[in-house]
Amino acid sequence: MSISLGRILPIVVIDSADDAEPLAEALLAGGIRQVEVTLRTPAAIEAARRMARHDDLVVGVGTALTTDDVSRAADAGARFIVSPGLIEPVVERTLALGLASIPGIATATELARASAFGLDLLKVFPAEQLGGVAMIAALAAVFPEVRFMPSGGIGPTNAGAYLSHPAVTAIGGSWMAPREAIKARDFLSIADLCTAAGELLR
Ligand SMILES: O=C(O)C(=O)C[C@H](O)[C@H](O)COP(=O)(O)O
């Protein structure tokens, strides 16, 4: 199943589920309509559940490492599942539940294995450390049908370079909603960072 995501995906780490609601409001205020909630904290699933109550916010779950992670995310209302690498049972469970699967790839071999599932969008992680836009351009030349969503080391200074590559349909990153800003409940700054990120698309 494919999904229509915007071009900029905030990747968030939420320490308290009570921050989920104001965070969703801040993202929407900043013009962002999609978010990846990483399963890196005990509060993540409940936070995803609360954010998914917003009809106008497409909520996905990231750092999905096991089939159980996928099932819990689906139950919480996640519409897409992201993993840092290609974990085939995670992809299979995600597709079986009718959700969009966006596994991470870091090599041509992993890309080929992910493509065998018929996936139309693959995460490249950790993008900047792997070689950035040049690495994606090299892969895109060999696999012209694949679309990429890089994340890892992307921020305001290099986001534009990724977005300008035709094979990159979206980029992900934590810079729009830093964990410390969420913890500090600095939702005004988060809304401003999201607005600034949106301006990269102009
Ligand atoms: O674990 C996952 O599934 C992830 O989504 C990892 C994220 O892509 C990075 O943590 C984002 O990296 P930064 O923007 O450099 O903070």
Tell whether ligand 1 has an atom less than 6 A from the beta carbon of residue 83.
yes
Domain ranges of the chain: 8-103+154-197
- Please report the ipTM that was assigned to this predicted complex: 0.93
Catalytic residue flag (residue 36): yes
At 77 the pLDDT is 98
Instruction: Name the closest-CA residue to atom 5, ligand 1.
Output: 62
The CA–CA distances, whole Å, from 83 to 36, 91, 103, 104 equal: 11, 9, 5, 6
User: Which one, of 40, 32, 91, 87, lies nearest residue 62 by Cα?
Assistant: 40
Per-residue pLDDT tens digits for 118-158: 998 999 999 999 999 999 999 999 999 999 999 999 999 99
- Measured from the Cα of 64, ligand 1's closest atom is 3
Q: Where are the beta strands (DSSP E) in 103-144?
A: 104-105, 121-124
Instruction: Name the closest-CA residue to atom 12, ligand 1.
Output: 152
- Which pTM does this prediction carry? 0.96
Distance in angstroms (rounded) separating the CA atoms of residues 94 and 64:
10
Distance in angstroms (rounded) separating the CA atoms of residues 116 and 174:
29
Burial class (CB in 10 A: 0-12, 13-18, 19+), 47: buried
Domain made up of 8-103+154-197: CATH architecture? Alpha-Beta Barrel (3.20)
At 91 the pLDDT is 98
- Measured from the Cα of 82, ligand 1's closest atom is 3
Per-residue pLDDT tens digits for 126-136: 999 999 999 99
Tell whether ligand 1 has an atom less than 6 A from the beta carbon of residue 173.
yes
- Measured from the Cα of 173, ligand 1's closest atom is 14
